[in-house]
Amino acid sequence: MNHEAKRARTGSASVLTWAGLFTVLALLAGCTEAATLFGDDRGPADTIRVVPRDGAENVDADSRVEVSVPDGRLERVRVTRIEDAEQREVEGRIADDGRSWRPHGGVHRLALAGKYRVEAVAVDGDGERSARSTTFRTAVPEDRFIGYFKPENRSTVGTGMIVSFDFSRPVENRAAVEKAIRITAEPEVEVAGHWFGASRLDFRPARYWRPGTEVTVDIGLRDVEGAPGVFGSQRKKVVFTVGREQVSVVDVRAHTMEVRRDGRVLGTVPVTAGAERTTTYNGKMVVSEMHEVTRMNGDTVGFGGEYDIKDVPHAIRLTKSGTFLHGNYWEPSAVFGARNTSHGCIGLRDEKGGNSRTPAGWFFERTLVGDVVEIVNSTDTTVAPDNGLGGWNLGWARWKEGSALR
C-alpha cells in the first residue's frame, strides 16, 4: 500500500488506467462513492463537483451534465451509460482552463431509463490528485412503443423484400421515428421510407434489390418520442442478405404461372385463380410468410362459412387480407390450367398432406420470403400498396412522397 502511494506522489499515477486508478481509490478509502488521494481535509464532493448529484433518480433526459473543480484542474473525465454489458460513453471535453467538463455542444440528451457513471480525476495546485466516482439514473417513461418488423435477422430473402415496421402505438412525430431507423446496403443503393397511416412505415429502394446485397437495418428508437410522452424502447441491428432474383407472373386469363429466376424461365405451371364472384387482385405481391400446412377458414376473411380447410399444404402468403398461393388437393386435376374456381387465392395442384413432386411442392421448395408474385389479366383492381408488402405497386416518385423526411 505504501509503495503504491509513494508511486502516486512521484507522478506515476498519471499513467494508471481507469480500472487501476479506481482500484487504488478503493484500497485507500474503502468502498465509498469517492475518495481524495492526497491534500487537505476537503471531502471529494468539495474537490470535484458533479451534476447531477450522486445517487440522483428520475433525472430528466435534458438535464445538465457537468463536472467542475473550484481550483486546480480536471485531468480526466469519463461519463458512461451502463446498459447490460454494453457501455456507451458520452463525448465531451474539458474546458481550456481545466476547471470544468461538459458534453460536446454543451448539452447531451440522456437516455431514458438508463444508469450513468461519472468518473473524474483532478489535480490541485500542489500536483496532488483526487478522484471521484458517482452514478445517477434517468427517468423511466410510463408510455413506450416498439416496432414489429420484417424480415428476420440473418435471413436470406428474395429481391422484392420490403422492410416493414408496424408500431405498437400511433406515431405523431413521424420524421423523428423515420430518422431513427437507418437502412444501409452493400452495394450502396438509395432507400426511402413510406408511411401508411400512423402505425406503419415501410422501406424499399427504387427497384428490386440486387442479388447478393447485404442490408443492415439499424433501429435506434430507444428514447425517441413518437408521440407526446410516448417513447421508443428498441435499439438493435438487423442484417439480412438478398438471394437470387425470382419473379413469378400469374396470368389469370391463361390460368398459368411462369416462374423466372435471374432472367431465365424455371418453369410454367397450371393454376386456378379467383372465380368470377371472388376475383384475384392484380399487381405485384411479395411473399411474406410460408407454411408447410395451414388452416384456411372463410370466417377470417369475410366469406362466412363457405369453407374451412384444416390442412392446406404449401401455403404462401401474398397479402394481409388473405391472398395465398397454395397447394390444392380438393379440386379435380382438370381444373388447373382451365378454370378459375377459388375465393381469390392462386391454387396449384397438390396432394393431401403435400407432395414435393406436385406443382405446389415444386414451387414451394424454390421460393423465399421476399420473392415477387405478379398477377396480371384479372378483372379485379390492383392490390393496395399497404395490403401485405404491396409497395412495389407505387412508382418511385409517389413512394418518396410518403416519407416524413422529404
Please state the separation of Cα 356 from the chain's center in Å.
35
Residues of the chain where predicted confidence (pLDDT) is lower than 70? 1-46, 83-86, 300, 305, 307
202 close to 164: Cβ distance less than 8 angstroms: yes
Domain 2-138 CATH assignment equals 2.40.33.10: no
Strand 66-68: give its sheet, edge to edge. Answer: 49-51, 66-68, 100-103, 92-94
Domain topology for 143-243: Immunoglobulin-like (2.60.40)
Among 192, 199, 193, 204, residue whose Cα is nearest residue 166: 199
Q: What are the pLDDT digits (tens) for 318-332? A: 999 999 999 999 999
What is the model's pLDDT at position 24? 44
Rounded to 5°, the CA angle 119-98-77 comes to 15
DSSP 310-324: EEEEEEEE--TTS-E
Among all residues, which ones are annotated catalytic? 326, 345
Phi and psi, residue 121, nearest 5°: -125, 130
Domain 2-138 and domain 143-243, same fold? Reply is yes
Q: What are the pLDDT digits (tens) for 263-291? A: 999 999 999 999 999 999 999 999 999 99
What is the model's pLDDT at position 43? 53
Phi and psi, residue 207, nearest 5°: -130, 170
What is the model's pLDDT at position 88? 82
What is the model's pLDDT at position 337? 98
What is the model's pLDDT at position 269? 98
223 close to 176: Cβ distance less than 8 angstroms: no
Strand 147-150: give its sheet, edge to edge. Answer: 147-150, 163-167, 200-205, 191-195
What is the model's pLDDT at position 86? 58
Rounded CA separation 276/392 (Å): 26
Q: Where are the domains of the chain?
A: 2-138, 143-243, 246-393
Domain topology for 246-393: L,D-transpeptidase catalytic domain-like (2.40.440)
